[in-house]
């Protein structure tokens, strides 16, 4: 086992992740308990079990049913080209990984949501709950192989990063399993929109608004999210930031139009300094 794999093993045995500034998600309390794999969950009817950022399964842990998202492996330097020359020199691959790897992106977003809900005493829920992270056992990995899951499918066998990182623990998040179906009516749309706006105000950009990412009013996935502090924001012009801060709402309105549920669109959102506090310094 090389030093990089050992470091990944150490990280996945931590009590909270990621090890960088900003919000951190706690480990799943029962992460040492065996997992009973029930069936794959495929939220998008037009996709096979091919995965995007990962694969979702219905599982049972300690007699409770959960949705378990198992993440593909991710090259830390994937977004290196999005950094300018100065930030590109200063940001380490590990920091870039903690901010942009879908696994760590979800850890940070869910931790921010939990913290902000507790601060506000907020009871209303906008997103399926996340109960923590865990590393899969070798026995669990064999189950995935039986399902035909390849967590390295985005990398050729001779890829240098794959050669260095293969053997690292498989990462997963334990989430709420939402079984019931919901009618998409005006109240549901308002709830969905309120949730997106609330997350934006709490410094989370979802970056992935589409019908398959919702179960009724609840957002299911935050693998593409950006949560402050975030190294890519530190390299953006104020003009680009203004566009990005409006992107979730614009995409949601386009989604409802495409679903035939759209109503008269709201005016384009103005840039508000009181929203996304401190955003003006990222320029």
Q: What is the largest CA-CA distance in the chain?
A: 58
Q: Could you tell me the CATH number of the domain that includes residue 128?
A: 3.30.200.20
| Contact (CB, 8 A) for 184 and 216 | yes
Q: In angstroms, rounded to a whole number, what is the distance separating the alpha carbons of residues 249 and 152? A: 33
Domain that holds residue 163: 3-281
How many structural domains is the chain composed of?
Answer: 1
| Contact (CB, 8 A) for 135 and 31 | yes
Q: Is the dihedral angle over the CA atoms 146, 152, 158, 162 positive or is it negative?
A: negative
Indicate the DSSP class of residue 27: B
Q: In the chain, which stretches have pLDDT less than 50?
A: 43-48, 264-283
pLDDT at 204: 96
Q: How many CA atoms lie within 13 A of 124 on its CB side?
A: 10
Q: In angstroms, rounded to a whole number, what is the distance separating the alpha carbons of residues 28 and 174? A: 7
With CA atoms as reference, report the closest residue to 22 among 169, 230, 258. Answer: 230
3-state secondary structure of 174: strand
pLDDT at 88: 84
pLDDT tens column, 151-169: 999 999 999 999 999 999 9
């Amino acid at each position: 086992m090389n030093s990089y794999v050992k470091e990944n093993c150490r990280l996945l045995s931590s009590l909270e992740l990621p090890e960088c500034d900003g919000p951190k998600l706690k480990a799943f309390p029962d992460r040492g308990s065996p997992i009973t794999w029930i069936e794959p969950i495929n939220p998008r009817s037009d996709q096979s079990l091919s995965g995007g950022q990962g694969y979702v399964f219905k599982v049972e842990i300690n007699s409770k049913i959960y949705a378990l998202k198992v993440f593909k492996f991710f090259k830390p330097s994937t977004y290196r080209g999005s950094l300018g020359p100065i930030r590109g020199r200063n940001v380490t691959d590990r920091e870039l990984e903690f901010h942009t790897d879908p696994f760590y992106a979800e850890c940070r977003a869910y931790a921010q949501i939990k913290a902000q809900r507790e601060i506000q005493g907020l009871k209303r829920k906008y997103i399926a709950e996340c109960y923590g992270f865990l590393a899969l056992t070798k026995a669990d990995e064999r189950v995935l192989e039986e399902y035909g899951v390849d967590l390295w499918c985005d990398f050729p066998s001779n890829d240098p990063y794959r050669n260095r990182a293969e053997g690292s623990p498989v990462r997963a998040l334990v989430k709420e399993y939402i079984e019931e179906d919901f009618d998409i009516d005006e109240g549901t749309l308002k709830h969905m929109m309120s949730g997106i706006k609330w997350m934006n105000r709490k410094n989370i950009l979802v970056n992935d608004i589409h019908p398959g990412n919702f179960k009724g009013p609840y957002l299911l996935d935050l693998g593409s999210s950006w949560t402050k502090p975030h190294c890519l924001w530190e390299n953006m012009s104020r003009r680009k930031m203004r566009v990005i801060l409006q992107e979730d709402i614009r995409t949601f309105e386009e989604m409802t139009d495409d679903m035939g549920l759209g109503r008269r669109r709201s005016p384009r959102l103005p840039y508000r300094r009181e929203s996304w506090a401190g955003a003006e310094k990222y320029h």
